[in-house]
Amino acid sequence: MSNIENLKSFDPFADTGDDETELTNYIHIRIQQRNGRKTLTTVQGLPDEYDLKKILKVIKKDFACNGNIVKDEELGEVIQLQGDQRLKVMEFMVEALGVKKKNIKIHGF
């Protein structure tokens, strides 16, 4: 029976490859309003293999803004940037850091 090629071609219960249960640690980019027209951009959930200090240095120069790294008890280290840098940060992450776009979530309005 096992010689019949047709019968063993497809296993409907096999993994399809695109398994959504795989835990994707999203990078969250948020915006927060400050006093007046000023805003704050926070980047949360960058993987540990990146050196946040170096990233921050480059970002600060590229985006012409100030920023710092905040240590949060639950969420680890978070980059804070002055102003609305959400789209720029996302582009930077995709191009310079090689983060997949689907792993980045932009929040805020």
Partner 1 sequence: MSAEELGFDPSIKKKKKSKDVAPVSADSETTTVASTEDDDLFSGLKKKKKKSKDKKDTSEEPSADVTDDLSESFEGMKLKKKKKKKVVAADIDEFEKQLQDAGIDESIVNETSKKSDLIPYSQLLDRFYGILKEKNPELAGGQQQKLKIPPPEVLRDGNKKTIFANVQQISQVLQRNPSHLIQYLFAELGTSGSIDGEQRLIIKGRFQSKNIEGVLRRYIQEYVICRTCKSMNTELKREAANRLHFIVCKACGSTKSVTSIRTGFTANVGAMKKKRV
Nearest to 54 by CA among 75, 74, 86, 77: 77
73-92 residues near partner 1, rule: CB under 8 A: 75, 78, 80
By CB under 8 A, residue 42 contacts partner 1:
yes
As beta bridge partners, residue 29 has 43, 106
By CB under 8 A, residue 65 contacts partner 1:
no
By CB under 8 A, residue 56 contacts partner 1:
no
By CB under 8 A, residue 66 contacts partner 1:
no
By CB under 8 A, residue 34 contacts partner 1:
yes
Nearest to 42 by CA among 75, 15, 6, 91: 75
CB 77 within 8 A of CB 32: no
Rounded Cα distance, 94 and 89, in Å: 9
Contacting partner 1 (CB under 8 A), which of 13, 19, 35, 95? 35
Contacting partner 1 (CB under 8 A), which of 24, 47, 51, 72? 72
What does the binding site for partner 1 look like in residue numbers (CB under 8 A)?
Answer: 28, 30-35, 40, 42, 44, 70, 72, 75, 78, 80, 107-109
